[in-house]
Structure 1
Amino acid sequence: MREEIFVLRIGHLIERDKRITTHVGLVARAFGAKGILFINTESDVKQKIDEVTERWGGPFETKIIEENWKNVVLKWRKMGGAIIHLTMYGAPIDEKIDEIRKDKRRKLVVVGAEKVPKELYALSDFNVSITSQPHSEVAALAIFLDRFYMGKEIGLKFSDAKLTIVPTERGKRIIESRV
């Protein structure tokens, strides 16, 4: 199930976006992406996601990239990958998701903070909207990955998990293993 999808988080504003950027990474991991690339993000954001991966299992790759987003996108394209930009201005997801699924290239899903550079629209293979309304990039990423994997990521099992939740209707049950 786990196709090669990486997430690129751009436009992170130090302090204001720390929590949102962390949540983008957590959603990327939990919903089946292979990893996340952060552009000029604080190392503690990466550390938090790495700690979750250590406890709850992986594999999930996190990298802080010390270059601009455009270079990352151009390198991804040069290596034959597809660029998917999540934006409220793009084509509706329901019109594009089958085409994206059929595209067998490695995928880089780009999520921005506030206003993304206009140039990203031209460099993307797909500009996809979840809604044509203002919304959270965390929600957009979760919905995109859920639609891409057709809900199968919900049952995703992570190898080497030290902690595993046992679903219960009431209460909390966690199994701790010594992997």
Structure 2
Amino acid sequence: MAIEILRLGHRGERDKRISTHVALTSRALGAEKIIFTEEDKHVKESVERIVDSWGGDFKFEVVKSWRTYAKRFKDNGIVVHLTMYGENINKIMTEIREDISKTNKNLLLIIGAEKVPREAYDLANYNLSVGNQPHSEVAALAIFLDRLTEGKTLYSEYDNAKIKVTPSKSEKCVFVEKD
């Protein structure tokens, strides 16, 4: 199963830091690609720097029409929309995992930066809430991806990594490849 993240409504200067965190969280917790609906050179360069240093093959893409992208994806994949107004993650997560496992389909995860159009709710196979209190989309994304992968991606090692951290009880264990 491949996981892609569709970030709706990135708002330039206002969102560049949080959108960078969305991309880095996506990468660190198992997604293969993040798709934006707005071009942002700062976010793209930050993501590319991380991939260059920490490895992997994480992709950054910009699409003109999120609707077209999501509709095409849904033809052969499963679309989950993270929203405060969706079904309780504790009650629906097992069903989502089983659906993905049974169908062997890829996953598109939609997260918004601003008010999400009604069409995203209608398009999604699942509208999922991670709590019913206001919090960050980064938190919702991290919780969802961790539950989806059952924690298996937390300590992933990536090909071509120039920097690697090894968990340690008492010291900082960092490997940095010299050029």
Shorter-chain TM-score category? Answer: over 0.9
Distance 1:134 1:54 in 2: 34
Question: What is the CA distance between 1:89 and its match in structure 2?
Answer: 0.4
The TM-score normalised by the length of structure 2 is 0.92
How well do the aligned residues superpose, as a CA RMSD in angstroms?
A: 1.5
1:143-167 deviations in Å (ceiling 9; x for gaps): 0000001111112111111100122
Task: State yes or no: 1:100 paired with 2:92.
Answer: no
Tell whether 2:57 aligns with 1:59.
yes
Gaps of 5+ in 2: none
> Deviating runs (4+, > 2 A) in structure 1?
166-173
Structure 1: state its 5+ residue gaps. Answer: none
1:45 match: secondary structure: helix
1:8-157 pair list within 5 angstroms? 8-65=6-63, 67-78=64-75, 80-102=76-98, 103=100, 104-157=104-157
Once the two structures are superposed, residues 15-69 of structure 1 have per-residue CA deviations (whole angstroms, 9 ceiling, x without a partner) of 000000000000000001111111113122111101101100102111122x122
- Could you tell me how far 1:172 is from its partner in structure 2? 2.8
TM-score using structure 1 length: 0.92
The residue number in structure 2 matching 1:162 is 162
Number of residue pairs matched by the alignment: 175
Q: Which whole-Å CA distance do the structure 1 matches of 2:97 and 2:46 have between them?
A: 30
SS of the aligned residue for 1:164 comes to strand
CA contact (8 A) 1:5 1:106 kept: yes
Identity of aligned residues (%): 41
State the one-letter code of the partner of 2:172. K
Paired with 1:101 and 1:41, the residues of 2 have a C-alpha distance of 32
